[in-house]
Structure 1
Amino acid sequence: MPLLKKCCCCCCDLRQGSLFIGIISLLLIGIVEAVVAIYCLLNVEEAKKRVKFDNTVTFGIIDENSDVAAFIFFSILLLVAVIYIIVCLVLIHGVRNKRRFLMLPWIFFTFLNMVMAFSGGILTLINSHGHTGPIIVGVIVLFISGTWIYFTCVVFSFFQALQDGDYW
Protein backbone atom coordinates (compact mmCIF):
# COMPACT_ATOMS: atom_id res chain seq x y z
CA MET A 1 0.00 0.00 0.00
CA PRO A 2 1.50 3.36 -1.02
CA LEU A 3 2.64 5.81 1.61
CA LEU A 4 0.75 8.64 -0.13
CA LYS A 5 -2.28 8.38 -2.41
CA LYS A 6 -1.72 11.60 -4.31
CA CYS A 7 0.98 14.21 -4.80
CA CYS A 8 -0.30 17.18 -2.79
CA CYS A 9 2.27 19.66 -4.11
CA CYS A 10 0.89 19.86 -7.63
CA CYS A 11 -2.57 18.22 -7.24
CA CYS A 12 -1.75 15.36 -9.59
CA ASP A 13 -1.33 11.63 -9.34
CA LEU A 14 1.85 9.98 -8.12
CA ARG A 15 3.20 9.23 -11.59
CA GLN A 16 2.93 12.82 -12.81
CA GLY A 17 4.26 14.10 -9.48
CA SER A 18 7.23 11.73 -9.64
CA LEU A 19 8.01 12.78 -13.20
CA PHE A 20 7.78 16.46 -12.20
CA ILE A 21 10.03 15.84 -9.18
CA GLY A 22 12.57 14.01 -11.36
CA ILE A 23 12.75 16.91 -13.80
CA ILE A 24 12.92 19.55 -11.06
CA SER A 25 15.65 17.68 -9.17
CA LEU A 26 17.60 17.23 -12.40
CA LEU A 27 17.46 20.95 -13.14
CA LEU A 28 17.66 22.48 -9.66
CA ILE A 29 20.12 20.15 -8.00
CA GLY A 30 22.02 18.22 -10.66
CA ILE A 31 22.60 20.83 -13.34
CA VAL A 32 23.06 23.78 -10.95
CA GLU A 33 25.49 21.82 -8.78
CA ALA A 34 27.50 20.75 -11.84
CA VAL A 35 27.65 24.32 -13.17
CA VAL A 36 28.78 25.65 -9.77
CA ALA A 37 31.45 22.94 -9.48
CA ILE A 38 32.78 23.61 -12.98
CA TYR A 39 32.79 27.37 -12.36
CA CYS A 40 34.67 26.91 -9.08
CA LEU A 41 37.18 24.55 -10.68
CA LEU A 42 37.86 27.10 -13.41
CA ASN A 43 38.13 29.97 -10.90
CA VAL A 44 39.84 28.34 -7.93
CA GLU A 45 41.35 31.54 -6.54
CA GLU A 46 37.98 33.29 -6.35
CA ALA A 47 36.29 30.17 -4.96
CA LYS A 48 38.93 29.84 -2.24
CA LYS A 49 37.99 33.32 -1.02
CA ARG A 50 34.38 32.23 -0.52
CA VAL A 51 35.02 28.73 0.85
CA LYS A 52 37.64 28.61 3.60
CA PHE A 53 39.66 25.42 3.67
CA ASP A 54 41.22 25.04 7.09
CA ASN A 55 43.02 22.14 8.71
CA THR A 56 39.79 20.69 10.12
CA VAL A 57 38.57 20.09 6.56
CA THR A 58 41.86 18.72 5.22
CA PHE A 59 42.90 17.01 8.50
CA GLY A 60 46.26 18.76 8.29
CA ILE A 61 47.28 16.59 5.32
CA ILE A 62 47.17 19.40 2.77
CA ASP A 63 48.41 22.95 3.30
CA GLU A 64 45.34 25.14 3.67
CA ASN A 65 46.82 27.85 1.44
CA SER A 66 47.39 25.51 -1.50
CA ASP A 67 44.94 24.99 -4.34
CA VAL A 68 44.96 21.20 -3.89
CA ALA A 69 42.27 21.18 -1.20
CA ALA A 70 40.00 23.35 -3.34
CA PHE A 71 40.58 21.18 -6.43
CA ILE A 72 39.79 18.01 -4.46
CA PHE A 73 36.66 19.52 -2.90
CA PHE A 74 35.24 20.90 -6.15
CA SER A 75 36.17 17.74 -8.07
CA ILE A 76 34.22 15.66 -5.56
CA LEU A 77 31.34 18.14 -5.86
CA LEU A 78 31.41 17.71 -9.64
CA LEU A 79 31.48 13.91 -9.29
CA VAL A 80 28.47 13.96 -6.97
CA ALA A 81 26.64 16.27 -9.41
CA VAL A 82 27.31 13.95 -12.35
CA ILE A 83 26.12 10.95 -10.34
CA TYR A 84 22.98 12.85 -9.35
CA ILE A 85 22.28 13.83 -12.96
CA ILE A 86 22.55 10.17 -13.98
CA VAL A 87 20.31 9.09 -11.10
CA CYS A 88 17.70 11.72 -12.06
CA LEU A 89 17.72 10.57 -15.69
CA VAL A 90 17.28 6.96 -14.53
CA LEU A 91 14.35 8.09 -12.33
CA ILE A 92 12.68 9.90 -15.23
CA HIS A 93 13.13 6.86 -17.46
CA GLY A 94 11.79 4.56 -14.74
CA VAL A 95 8.71 6.71 -14.14
CA ARG A 96 7.94 7.05 -17.84
CA ASN A 97 8.26 3.29 -18.43
CA LYS A 98 6.78 2.24 -15.05
CA ARG A 99 9.95 0.35 -14.11
CA ARG A 100 9.99 0.54 -10.35
CA PHE A 101 13.55 -0.61 -9.68
CA LEU A 102 14.92 2.26 -11.76
CA MET A 103 13.53 4.62 -9.11
CA LEU A 104 15.50 3.15 -6.23
CA PRO A 105 18.85 4.87 -6.90
CA TRP A 106 17.17 8.28 -6.85
CA ILE A 107 15.19 7.46 -3.71
CA PHE A 108 18.27 6.34 -1.78
CA PHE A 109 20.63 9.04 -3.06
CA THR A 110 18.19 11.90 -2.52
CA PHE A 111 17.01 10.69 0.86
CA LEU A 112 20.58 10.39 2.15
CA ASN A 113 21.51 13.82 0.79
CA MET A 114 18.47 15.43 2.35
CA VAL A 115 19.01 13.77 5.73
CA MET A 116 22.56 15.15 5.70
CA ALA A 117 21.26 18.60 4.68
CA PHE A 118 18.57 18.42 7.39
CA SER A 119 21.24 17.55 9.95
CA GLY A 120 23.39 20.42 8.68
CA GLY A 121 20.47 22.81 9.09
CA ILE A 122 19.96 21.68 12.68
CA LEU A 123 23.68 22.01 13.41
CA THR A 124 23.66 25.49 11.87
CA LEU A 125 20.82 26.49 14.19
CA ILE A 126 22.56 24.98 17.21
CA ASN A 127 25.86 26.72 16.43
CA SER A 128 24.30 30.08 15.48
CA HIS A 129 24.84 31.52 18.98
CA GLY A 130 21.96 33.93 18.40
CA HIS A 131 23.36 35.49 15.22
CA THR A 132 20.72 36.28 12.60
CA GLY A 133 22.60 35.08 9.50
CA PRO A 134 23.12 31.45 10.55
CA ILE A 135 19.58 31.25 11.91
CA ILE A 136 18.13 32.35 8.56
CA VAL A 137 20.40 29.93 6.67
CA GLY A 138 19.47 27.08 9.05
CA VAL A 139 15.73 27.69 8.65
CA ILE A 140 16.02 27.86 4.85
CA VAL A 141 18.06 24.63 4.76
CA LEU A 142 15.53 22.90 7.03
CA PHE A 143 12.62 24.03 4.85
CA ILE A 144 14.29 22.91 1.62
CA SER A 145 15.36 19.59 3.18
CA GLY A 146 11.85 18.95 4.46
CA THR A 147 10.43 19.66 1.01
CA TRP A 148 12.86 17.24 -0.67
CA ILE A 149 12.17 14.58 1.97
CA TYR A 150 8.48 14.94 1.06
CA PHE A 151 9.40 14.62 -2.63
CA THR A 152 11.27 11.41 -1.79
CA CYS A 153 8.11 10.13 -0.10
CA VAL A 154 6.10 10.92 -3.26
CA VAL A 155 8.49 8.96 -5.49
CA PHE A 156 8.61 6.12 -2.96
CA SER A 157 4.79 6.04 -2.92
CA PHE A 158 4.77 5.67 -6.70
CA PHE A 159 7.36 2.91 -6.31
CA GLN A 160 5.01 1.13 -3.87
CA ALA A 161 1.97 1.74 -6.11
CA LEU A 162 3.75 0.02 -8.99
CA GLN A 163 4.40 -2.95 -6.74
CA ASP A 164 0.70 -3.17 -5.89
CA GLY A 165 -0.25 -2.94 -9.57
CA ASP A 166 -2.17 0.36 -9.23
CA TYR A 167 -0.65 1.84 -12.40
CA TRP A 168 -0.89 -1.02 -14.87
Structure 2
Amino acid sequence: MTLLKRCCCGCDLRGGSLAIGVASLLLIGVTQLVLGIYCLLNIDETRKRLKFENAVTFGIVDPESDAAAYIFLGILLLVAIIYIIVSLVLIHGVRTKRQFLLLPWVFFTFLNMIMAFAGGILMLINSHGYAVHVIAGVLVLIISTLWIYFTCVVFSFFQALQDGDYW
Protein backbone atom coordinates (compact mmCIF):
# COMPACT_ATOMS: atom_id res chain seq x y z
CA MET A 1 0.00 0.00 0.00
CA THR A 2 1.44 3.34 -1.04
CA LEU A 3 2.02 6.20 1.37
CA LEU A 4 0.62 8.82 -1.05
CA LYS A 5 -1.67 8.35 -4.05
CA ARG A 6 -0.83 11.52 -5.94
CA CYS A 7 1.73 14.30 -5.87
CA CYS A 8 0.74 17.70 -4.45
CA CYS A 9 0.53 19.35 -7.86
CA GLY A 10 -2.17 16.91 -8.99
CA CYS A 11 0.09 14.81 -11.21
CA ASP A 12 0.69 11.13 -10.67
CA LEU A 13 3.55 9.80 -8.60
CA ARG A 14 5.72 9.04 -11.61
CA GLY A 15 5.49 12.56 -13.03
CA GLY A 16 5.99 14.09 -9.59
CA SER A 17 9.03 11.89 -8.92
CA LEU A 18 10.54 12.83 -12.27
CA ALA A 19 9.98 16.53 -11.59
CA ILE A 20 11.46 16.16 -8.11
CA GLY A 21 14.51 14.40 -9.58
CA VAL A 22 15.13 17.18 -12.10
CA ALA A 23 14.52 19.90 -9.50
CA SER A 24 16.88 18.30 -6.99
CA LEU A 25 19.53 17.83 -9.67
CA LEU A 26 19.41 21.48 -10.69
CA LEU A 27 18.46 23.27 -7.47
CA ILE A 28 20.61 21.34 -5.04
CA GLY A 29 23.29 19.39 -6.89
CA VAL A 30 24.37 21.76 -9.64
CA THR A 31 23.86 24.91 -7.57
CA GLN A 32 25.90 23.50 -4.69
CA LEU A 33 28.64 22.36 -7.07
CA VAL A 34 28.86 25.78 -8.75
CA LEU A 35 28.84 27.55 -5.38
CA GLY A 36 31.58 25.27 -4.04
CA ILE A 37 33.80 25.81 -7.10
CA TYR A 38 33.22 29.57 -6.95
CA CYS A 39 34.17 29.64 -3.26
CA LEU A 40 37.29 27.57 -3.94
CA LEU A 41 38.38 29.95 -6.68
CA ASN A 42 37.85 32.92 -4.33
CA ILE A 43 39.25 31.33 -1.17
CA ASP A 44 40.40 34.63 0.40
CA GLU A 45 36.93 36.17 0.16
CA THR A 46 35.36 32.93 1.39
CA ARG A 47 37.58 32.84 4.46
CA LYS A 48 36.57 36.42 5.29
CA ARG A 49 32.86 35.58 5.10
CA LEU A 50 32.94 32.15 6.78
CA LYS A 51 34.18 32.01 10.35
CA PHE A 52 35.52 28.63 11.45
CA GLU A 53 35.45 28.09 15.18
CA ASN A 54 37.25 25.30 17.04
CA ALA A 55 33.89 23.54 17.41
CA VAL A 56 33.66 23.22 13.63
CA THR A 57 37.20 21.98 13.07
CA PHE A 58 37.32 20.03 16.38
CA GLY A 59 40.67 21.63 17.23
CA ILE A 60 42.40 19.59 14.52
CA VAL A 61 42.97 22.47 12.10
CA ASP A 62 43.74 26.08 12.93
CA PRO A 63 40.49 28.01 12.25
CA GLU A 64 42.43 30.94 10.77
CA SER A 65 44.25 28.83 8.16
CA ASP A 66 43.14 28.10 4.63
CA ALA A 67 43.02 24.39 5.51
CA ALA A 68 39.72 24.80 7.40
CA ALA A 69 38.11 26.46 4.37
CA TYR A 70 39.52 23.82 2.00
CA ILE A 71 38.21 21.00 4.19
CA PHE A 72 34.76 22.60 4.45
CA LEU A 73 34.54 23.30 0.72
CA GLY A 74 35.89 19.84 -0.12
CA ILE A 75 33.09 18.26 1.90
CA LEU A 76 30.60 20.60 0.22
CA LEU A 77 31.83 19.52 -3.23
CA LEU A 78 31.74 15.84 -2.26
CA VAL A 79 28.14 16.13 -1.09
CA ALA A 80 27.24 18.01 -4.30
CA ILE A 81 28.78 15.32 -6.51
CA ILE A 82 27.03 12.54 -4.58
CA TYR A 83 23.73 14.45 -4.84
CA ILE A 84 24.14 14.89 -8.60
CA ILE A 85 24.82 11.16 -8.98
CA VAL A 86 21.84 10.05 -6.88
CA SER A 87 19.59 12.56 -8.68
CA LEU A 88 20.63 11.17 -12.06
CA VAL A 89 20.05 7.63 -10.75
CA LEU A 90 16.59 8.73 -9.54
CA ILE A 91 15.70 10.21 -12.94
CA HIS A 92 16.86 7.05 -14.70
CA GLY A 93 14.98 4.86 -12.21
CA VAL A 94 11.74 6.79 -12.70
CA ARG A 95 12.06 6.71 -16.48
CA THR A 96 12.78 2.96 -16.60
CA LYS A 97 10.48 2.09 -13.64
CA ARG A 98 13.26 0.35 -11.72
CA GLN A 99 12.27 0.68 -8.10
CA PHE A 100 15.63 0.07 -6.45
CA LEU A 101 17.22 2.94 -8.36
CA LEU A 102 14.98 5.29 -6.36
CA LEU A 103 16.34 4.26 -2.98
CA PRO A 104 19.75 6.01 -3.05
CA TRP A 105 18.06 9.36 -3.60
CA VAL A 106 15.46 8.67 -0.89
CA PHE A 107 18.07 7.76 1.72
CA PHE A 108 20.55 10.50 0.85
CA THR A 109 17.89 13.21 0.65
CA PHE A 110 16.23 12.10 3.86
CA LEU A 111 19.56 12.24 5.71
CA ASN A 112 20.40 15.64 4.22
CA MET A 113 17.02 17.06 5.15
CA ILE A 114 17.23 15.75 8.73
CA MET A 115 20.60 17.49 9.03
CA ALA A 116 19.20 20.67 7.45
CA PHE A 117 16.19 20.55 9.79
CA ALA A 118 18.52 20.23 12.78
CA GLY A 119 20.63 23.09 11.40
CA GLY A 120 17.53 25.27 11.08
CA ILE A 121 16.61 24.58 14.69
CA LEU A 122 20.17 25.35 15.81
CA MET A 123 20.07 28.54 13.75
CA LEU A 124 16.91 29.62 15.56
CA ILE A 125 18.35 28.73 18.97
CA ASN A 126 21.58 30.63 18.29
CA SER A 127 19.91 33.62 16.61
CA HIS A 128 20.11 35.81 19.73
CA GLY A 129 17.14 37.77 18.40
CA TYR A 130 18.74 38.89 15.14
CA ALA A 131 16.06 39.04 12.47
CA VAL A 132 18.29 37.76 9.66
CA HIS A 133 19.17 34.61 11.62
CA VAL A 134 15.53 34.00 12.59
CA ILE A 135 14.34 34.43 9.00
CA ALA A 136 17.11 32.16 7.69
CA GLY A 137 16.29 29.51 10.33
CA VAL A 138 12.58 29.56 9.49
CA LEU A 139 13.37 29.42 5.77
CA VAL A 140 15.65 26.40 6.28
CA LEU A 141 12.91 24.66 8.30
CA ILE A 142 10.29 25.31 5.61
CA ILE A 143 12.57 24.06 2.81
CA SER A 144 13.53 21.00 4.87
CA THR A 145 9.89 20.15 5.48
CA LEU A 146 9.16 20.53 1.77
CA TRP A 147 12.02 18.19 0.82
CA ILE A 148 10.89 15.64 3.40
CA TYR A 149 7.51 15.69 1.62
CA PHE A 150 9.30 15.21 -1.72
CA THR A 151 11.08 12.20 -0.21
CA CYS A 152 7.66 10.80 0.72
CA VAL A 153 6.47 11.28 -2.87
CA VAL A 154 9.44 9.39 -4.34
CA PHE A 155 9.11 6.65 -1.71
CA SER A 156 5.40 6.36 -2.55
CA PHE A 157 6.36 5.84 -6.19
CA PHE A 158 8.79 3.15 -5.02
CA GLN A 159 5.93 1.46 -3.14
CA ALA A 160 3.62 1.78 -6.16
CA LEU A 161 6.23 0.06 -8.33
CA GLN A 162 6.60 -2.64 -5.70
CA ASP A 163 2.83 -3.19 -5.62
CA GLY A 164 2.73 -3.37 -9.42
CA ASP A 165 0.62 -0.24 -9.96
CA TYR A 166 2.93 1.15 -12.67
CA TRP A 167 3.73 -1.96 -14.67
1:57 Cα deviation after fit:
1.3
Q: Aligned residue for 1:119?
A: 118
Distance 2:114 2:63 in 1: 29
**Does 1:2 find its partner at 2:12?**
no
Deviates more, 1:16-25 or 1:59-68: 59-68
Instruction: Give the % identical residues.
Output: 72
Distance 1:132 1:38 in 2: 30
> What is the CA RMSD across the aligned residues, in angstroms?
0.9
Q: Structure 2 stretches of 5 or more lacking a match?
A: none
Q: Aligned residue for 2:53?
A: 54
Q: Aligned residue for 1:94?
A: 93
Q: Aligned residue for 2:129?
A: 130
1:127 Cα deviation after fit:
2.2
Q: How does 1:33-52 map to 2 (within 5 A)?
A: 33-52=32-51
1:130 Cα deviation after fit:
2.4
Deviates more, 1:118-127 or 1:92-101: 118-127
- 2:10 aligns to what SS in structure 1? coil
Q: Aligned residue for 2:28?
A: 29
Q: Aligned residue for 1:149?
A: 148
Q: Aligned residue for 2:108?
A: 109
Distance 2:124 2:84 in 1: 30
Distance 2:103 2:68 in 1: 33
Task: Extract structure 1 runs of 4+ deviating beyond 3 A.
Answer: none
Distance 1:167 1:48 in 2: 50
- 2:30 aligns to what SS in structure 1? helix
Amino acid at match of 2:7: C
- 1:53 aligns to what SS in structure 2? coil
Distance 1:154 1:103 in 2: 11
Q: How does 1:58-73 map to 2 (within 5 A)?
A: 58-73=57-72
Q: Structure 1 stretches of 5 or more lacking a match?
A: none
1:62 Cα deviation after fit:
1.4
Distance 1:105 1:7 in 2: 20
Amino acid at match of 2:94: V
Q: What is the total number of aligned residue pairs between the two structures?
A: 167
- 2:5 aligns to what SS in structure 1? coil
Q: Aligned residue for 1:75?
A: 74
